[in-house]
Chain A
């Protein structure tokens, strides 16, 4: 592990009481959600992690505390280093601050997380669904969401099933 990354990990452990995790040469810092905005800001401004590569989430249902982890992947062009932040969230309808103000490309990635996992981003400028239709119910990538099946329609129950089918009518 490079010196710079070592320093970031050490500073974050002191400043934000983050836990670090290493696997296969990759470094992850696990933070609580109160520290997220401050941590991301200092990552960009003080430590030179200038690109947000990816943001996604993982659902650990039926676990409730924490049920979700939001995962951010940062990259530093100057140091050629990758760093991952993970933020655990409790409960079925969790909230987290948006980092859109620091990395504008978080906008769509957070919309995707909202769409797929139902995690609300406080202060997000455009909190709409992005991949699923706008009137969709539920959040597909949650573990308690069924993989999907279609009820077979026969002539005797065609109308009944058609009524509750989630596709655009007309």
Chain B
């Protein structure tokens, strides 16, 4: 093993300006332990006084080799790892992976499972936006919003615990449907959330939307144009805040999103405030979708009847030899997938979350690649932060809603 060597400015010569090499500007490390970086992100800042001349993000501190690990597991086992990628969007990660597996092997999903998936994915979106709203306003010194947001997020996590037994690492959505049907208390618990949320969102807004201090810190900060968003591959609330209503739930609907009536909120400013408005409105729209999905939640099976891919119900194991064989084969060997490749994307809370999945004819994925929104968002940090004060940097990092597990995988 070679000895660890220090990194010199010379190696970063191509990244910093001439002035940094002449000693006119200062290079400063922010992170990887800075509290406002929401995890372990290191930003190498080139500063001219208090102005950010250049910002060089350094990621990889949370790299856990999930893509490599998934190659060594069967399709069912590998799903457990997807929860850990974006730890604020567990249901969304499961959903994207399951959609990819279903597309690869050609598996059907019954309507009840589709509706449950939509409800849970939207609950997850609200919970992720709540955490974002709480922490990013905490970064801007609005302490109380955080406490209110955590209060409501707790209700959503309780629902997740109710259906899957876990508050965060759920693995509830499975290839071919969901793990098992929701308990009887589910509907009442979700209805409670849906009924109280609109008033609670008004409450958050009353603390921020017209707050002078908040407006001063967010308006005109971190502006990006639609063109730049496309060039840098940004999606989700960041591109919608520039005025382009690009939402995968509308443009490439999955899980039956085309049946629901909802709007895509946009803003026109493309700044931190615009992204705030878009996300808050998105929570209202999610509530709307959940309400519709609950109202017409169909009865029926929650898992596909295709026994080659989905294990039979427990009750059949004692009476059916075939069910026993299928159960045994699925849990010891897994199911084979063709030697093909697919790409599936869903609209995560942060933007387009895509899975590239390649099979090799065996029971293990040959290659899984997660195309994550935080990776793209972080790459655009130099554009977003250029010529802003270092104090505004904190607000900008918060506004793109980075999750480092999502960026590093």
Is the A/B pair a real complex? yes
Residues of A bordering B, CB below 8 Å: 23-24, 26, 28, 50-54, 56, 58-59, 71, 73, 77, 80, 82, 84, 103-105, 107-108, 116, 125-126, 128-135, 137, 140-141, 145, 147-148, 163-166, 168-170
**CB of B210 closer than 8 Å to a CB of A:** no
Contact among B230, B366, B367, B409 with A50 in the assembled complex (CB-CB below 8 Å): B230
0/1 per residue, B49-75, Cβ < 8 Å to A?
Answer: 000000000011001010111001000
Q: Are B63 and A84 in contact (CB under 8 A)?
A: no
Nearest B residue (CB) for A52? B233
B101 to A: closest C-beta gap in Å: 12
Nearest A residue (CB) for B352? A53
0/1 per residue, B1-25, Cβ < 8 Å to A?
Answer: 1101101000100110000000000
A140 to B: closest C-beta gap in Å: 6
Q: Which residues of A contact B14 (CB under 8 A)?
A: 125-126
Given contacts A56-B369, A130-B59, 13 further A-B contacts (CB under 8 A): A23-B340, A24-B106, A26-B343, A53-B233, A54-B356, A58-B366, A58-B367, A71-B356, A73-B343, A126-B14, A132-B60, A135-B2, A169-B4
Q: Are A108 and B1 in contact (CB under 8 A)?
A: no
Given contacts A108-B379, A125-B14, A147-B69, contact A26 B342 (CB under 8 A): yes
Given contacts A24-B106, A77-B246, A140-B68, contact A53 B345 (CB under 8 A): yes
Q: Bound complex: CA of A126 vs CA of B11, how far in Å?
A: 10
Residues of B bordering A, CB below 8 Å: 1-2, 4-5, 7, 11, 14-15, 59-60, 63, 65, 67-69, 72, 103-104, 106, 230-233, 246, 251-252, 340-343, 345, 352, 354, 356, 358, 366-367, 369, 371, 375-376, 379, 408-409
Q: Which residues of A contact B343 (CB under 8 A)?
A: 26, 54, 73, 82, 84
Contact among B67, B341, B354 with A141 in the assembled complex (CB-CB below 8 Å): B67
Q: Are B1 and A51 in contact (CB under 8 A)?
A: no
Q: Are A77 and B60 in contact (CB under 8 A)?
A: no
A154 to B: closest C-beta gap in Å: 20
Q: Which residues of A contact B11 (CB under 8 A)?
A: 128
Q: Bound complex: CA of A156 vs CA of B96, how far in Å?
A: 48
Chain A CB count within 10 A is highest, among B5, B60, B345, for: B60
The 10 closest A-B CB pairs, nearest first, are: A105-B233, A131-B60, A54-B371, A56-B369, A131-B63, A23-B340, A108-B379, A58-B367, A105-B232, A164-B1
